[in-house]
Amino acid sequence: MSQTPDVTITVIVFNDAERLPTAVASLLAQTHQNIEIIISDDHSTDNTPEVARALEASDSRITYLRLPENSGGCSAPRNRAIDIARGKYLMFLDSDDELTPNAVELLLAAHRERPDIDFAMGQVERVRVDTGRTSLWMPSLVAERRTVEGIEAEPGLLFEHLSTSKMYTRDFLDRHDLRFPEGIHYEDQLFSAQAYCLAKAFTVVPERVYRWYIAPFVAESAASISNQRHKLSNVRDRVYVQGLIDAFLVEGGYSAQLREAKDFKFLKHDLRMYSGDLPYRDDAWMAGYAEIVNPYLEGLAPGAFVRLPRGERVVIQLVRDGRLDDARTAARGLGHDVAPPATTTDESGALYWGDRVPDTETGRRELDLTGLGLDSRPFPRAQFRNEIVDLKRGPGAASVQLKVRTYDPGLRLPFGPQVASLLISPGRKRMTVRFRLDPVRPGVFEGQVLLDLAKAQLPAQGFAGVRHPMLQLQAPEGLRNNGLLLAPLEFPSFTAEVDQHVVTVEPEGRGSGRIQVRWEPVGLKAKVLQPVVRRVNSNPLARKIRKAVRLVTR
């Protein structure tokens, strides 16, 4: 290729021959065609070299670069490509992702509109490989087109730490000798933090430029580096990179406000992912986790903790205090306003998470629940803790017998029998099963309920999907509270065939850990009715008609 390319796009690959052609195709289909494509292979051992060479031969804009040995990460293949890149602007793509068709055009236009910016960044679309559903990555940060005059003006952008959503000027990277750190994982976080801090100005483009394919529930053995949270080495790598970012901020003399924003990002994003996994970790893992994160947490800005929701602060503090069983218990309620199973009040009237008053000033500050209004908030928003403490298969083909316990630390329910209901909605018809909760002691109630899934009213065409029962409590004045229903993290699953459906009752296996019910149509409904429904649902006119009917019905 004799013409100098405007943009060089590096595609890094390792043992991904199957998906590499799709990634490269998304570049060849760009609306801006004057590009250079470098396939940088981290010494693959499958047939990636043959596939890459065939792609190179098919288009003069493609160059194949193969590293002499495997580096074990993303940094080296990107850096080797930067060394030979000819474009004035540089972009990066992973072999299992794609650029949107006009990504180069959009970001290049931003550079040409403001030649003084150091990089331009756009929106990232996440695509679930298991369901095909799409969502946006950090959408609020990239919702408005603007040029930011340095990261100190908008430190919250540190949350968008992907290097692949951006187009950099080659001069900017060379001027600061900015390259991806080799020999470590989470290289994007350090690289992006440095880029944000060193850039005098950068432009945010709200359009989608990157398509990120994610497999959130892939087997641990096949998970990507970022999804290997079950490994303590993964925790150690992430904390290590944070330390490198801290050192860079100190050396560069950046403000305390920026450091606090970076600390908040670590707590709210990085550490939050591990916190959600804690219920599934064993004692040895928990001890190792605490040993890694606690020393680092000691040095974070106090203001970063204050910005977190109370539930997240509680989990972190319980880990810092070595109350690891309590941390697992608290983590099951993250994001769902689930109450603790017990609270304690000190002599001043302050209310704390758990069965004892914390020993330290930090513990008392972080575990203080007084401001949550457990005893005063409106009943529909009151916090309870609903748990299935015993579960066994019932007498029917698809029934399950549950023993439910409800904790009411705010004493919102009068001491006496309570009206409760299990709610589950396969399709648009809710199934309600009423039962009684009897008092065990003040603030604790228990009851038995039989959930017979054979009685659920399914749509005529069948239902394919997963549902999680909820627990509804009723106040004496008739107000209702719908809350999460936790289940044992492990119990024997079972299946039954009911009304041309295979019904499976199983542990959720992730998140808070609920009881999960899965319906799969079989027979006529699976072979005939469901395909018809899918075709109808894909019709835009049919969707509009259904929406209008629902509005009229309401």
Encode the chain (554 residues) as per-residue pLDDT tens digits. 568 999 999 999 999 999 999 999 999 999 999 999 999 999 999 999 999 999 999 999 999 999 999 999 999 999 999 999 999 999 999 999 999 999 999 999 999 999 999 999 999 999 999 888 999 999 999 999 999 999 999 999 999 999 999 999 999 999 999 999 999 999 999 999 999 999 999 999 999 999 999 987 555 444 455 568 899 999 999 999 999 999 999 999 999 999 999 999 999 999 999 999 999 999 999 999 999 999 999 999 999 999 999 999 999 999 999 999 999 999 999 999 999 999 999 999 999 999 999 999 999 999 999 999 999 999 999 999 999 999 999 998 899 999 999 999 999 999 999 999 999 999 888 999 999 999 999 999 999 999 999 999 998 888 999 999 999 999 988 899 999 999 999 999 999 999 899 999 999 988 899 999 999 999 875 565 445 555 555 555 555 554 554 454 44
HSE at residue 109, side-chain half, CA atoms within 13 A, is 13
Dihedral angle, C-alpha 321, 327, 333, 334, nearest 10 °: 60
Report d(CA 221, CA 453) in Å as an integer. Answer: 34
Task: Let me know: does 238 contact 225? Beta carbons within 8 Å.
Answer: no
Q: Is residue 275 classed as helix, strand or coil in its secondary structure?
A: helix
Of 404, 391, 371, nearest in space to 484 by CA: 404
- Pairing state between β 431-441 and 494-498: unpaired
Domains of the chain, with CATH numbers?
A: 7-221 (3.90.550.10), 231-239+253-372 (no CATH), 381-521 (2.60.40)
- CA torsion sign for 335, 338, 344, 347 is positive
Report d(CA 177, CA 201) in Å as an integer. Answer: 18
Cut 0.75: pTM above it = yes
State the Cα angle at 312 between 306 and 318, rounded to 5°: 100
Residue with tokens 């065609």: 33
Task: Let me know: does 230 contact 220? Beta carbons within 8 Å.
Answer: yes
Task: Let me know: does 14 contact 225? Beta carbons within 8 Å.
Answer: no
Quick one: which H or E segment has residue 452?
strand 444-452
Report d(CA 110, CA 211) in Å as an integer. Answer: 19
